[in-house]
Amino acid sequence: MFFDGFNIYIGATVLGAALKSGFSTMGQNAEFVSLTFVGMMTGSFVTGFLGDRYGRRFTYQANLAIFGFASIVAAFAPSMSVLILIQFIIGLGLGAENVVGYSTLTEFVPPQSRGKWLGFMTVFVVTGLPVAALLGTLIIPHFGWRAMFLIGGVGALIVWYLRKKLPESPRWLESAGRSEEAEVLLRQIEDEVSLQHSPLPEPHILPLVKHSRDLGSLLSRAIFPRMIVGAVTLMVINTLLYGFVTWLPTFFVQQGLSIARSFSYSLVMALGAPVGSAIGAFTADSWGRKPTIVGASLTAILIGSFYPFITHPVILMIVGFSLIVPIYVLVALLFAIYIPELFPTEVRLRASGICNTFGRGAIIFMPFVVVALFKAHGVGAVLVFMIALLIVQIVVVLTLGVEPKKRRLEEIEAAPSVSPFAAEARNP
């Protein structure tokens, strides 16, 4: 998941350097970002069906190989047009990884600390942002932007080899009718825990509610409102990430900063990514998902409203860092924690994949909108657009969202949509 984040975020450094060197234009940079999301949209959609049909483990390995090999090929692209096409293939793997990675861990961790574990996995993912910015600062001025693709590709393939022993999800095995395999795997896990800690008590067996595996079930009264929440929130957070954060180096270069100064500004601000994700991890289980989402959205609106008026370099970096933090609180909550929790195991990857498809698809044309707004009215116009989207997100989460805080996945599956800041679990 770290290399997934790294490969996504190298675009922020590569595009600025490619523009500065004359390898690309602003229009081609927009095409690069858009084709990335066409690939990620397609990967998100396809992996949802593959993951529910063939299992989490198979899908997890396949997508990592795709973006690992394609990243190495990208390092040798002879032109920006070729690089854009290769980036589409990279996007296929990146979009798939994002869906299956979070959903798989969701099915392993306990309800009392599910938000913490999923949130901390996001910390590793978004650490790819400051690492990409740091390596871009150190490497690109001396070795060029192509080295960034080599680092991401080689790292991904190393992990692909190491991850061959990843176990299948027992929840998926059971939902697919392979209960004996699920039982064997659970016994192995229980034996390992017993050896490391103490003998486990006999499990309290609860009645199992089977859900339909049909695609039409996503339009049911129980699931469809959650699909709306997932689609809208992922559209908003993707736009924040790739309509603002990814474009920071390019904004700075166009405003007259040197490429080195641009990377330095972006690096300081990028440190807010792991900080924000860690805050999301710590608060999701104590505050709840909905209060954290709404609070982070309001904070981003407040800071974003005066960010465009700052000109002092030091204050600009401090306020920029403060703006990145709530954005990445939302990244942890929405990508990693909230959306995978909303859906039954039988359709978890398909539902998450479709929500991610809307999120990626909605911003295929967003880079062109960002360029148009920036050219016409500067970064302030871009932020006004982002604030409007955050307001929409708050309304949707409050009116249609459920609260999964400390609730078993099976209990969340049966819960109807509720009013804002729902009650805590009755059954931890």
Measure the CA–CA gap between 357 and 37, rounded to whole angstroms: 9
| The pLDDT of residue 419 is above 50 | no
Q: What is the pLDDT of residue 352?
A: 93
SS3 of residue 409 by DSSP: helix
For residue 149, the tally of other CB atoms under 10 A from its CB is: 24
Q: Going by C-beta distance under 8 Å and a sequence separation of 6 or more, which residues neighbour residue 312?
A: none
The DSSP code for 298 is H
To the question of pTM greater than 0.85 for the whole model, the response is no
| pLDDT for 420 beyond 50 | no
Q: What's the confidence (pLDDT) of residue 426?
A: 40
The confidence score (pLDDT) of residue 424 equals: 40
* Cα→Cα distances 261→21, 185, 253, 313, Å: 15, 52, 9, 10
Query: With contact defined as beta carbons under 8 Å apart, do 383 and 307 qualify?
Result: yes
Contact 327, 383 (CB under 8 A): no
Tell me, what's the pLDDT at 427? Answer: 41
Q: For residue 407, what are its two tokens?
A: 């609730």
DSSP 152-218: HHHHHHHHHHHGGGPPPPHHHHHHTT-HHHHHHHHHHHHHHHHHHS-PPPPP---PPPP---SGGGG
Using CA of residue 300, residue 303, residue 309, residue 314, what is the dihedral sign? negative
Interaxial angle between packed helices 379-400 and 366-377, expressed in degrees from 0 to 180 and rounded to the nearest 10: 130
pLDDT for the residue numbered 251: 60
Determine the Cα–Cα distance for residues 390 and 299; give it in Å rounded to an integer: 10
The two three-digit tokens of residue 27, written as one number: 């229009």
Cβ atoms of residues 285 and 424 within 8 Å: no
| Position 425 confidence tier, pLDDT thresholds 50, 70, 90 | very low
The answer to whether 16 and 144 are in contact (CB under 8 A) is no
Closest CA to 73 of 7, 143, 162: 7
Percent of the chain's residues with pLDDT above 70: 89
> Which domains can be identified in the chain, with CATH numbers?
2-172+219-414 (1.20.1250.20)
pLDDT digits (tens, 9 = 90+) for 82-131: 999 999 999 898 888 888 889 999 999 989 999 999 999 999 988 887 78
Residue type, 11: G
Question: Distance between CA atoms of 87 and 40, rounded to whole angstroms?
Answer: 10
Is pLDDT at 157 greater than 80 in this prediction? Answer: yes
Alpha carbon distance 104, 116 (integer Å): 15
Mean pLDDT of 310-321: 76
Alpha carbons 43 and 50: distance in angstroms, whole number: 10
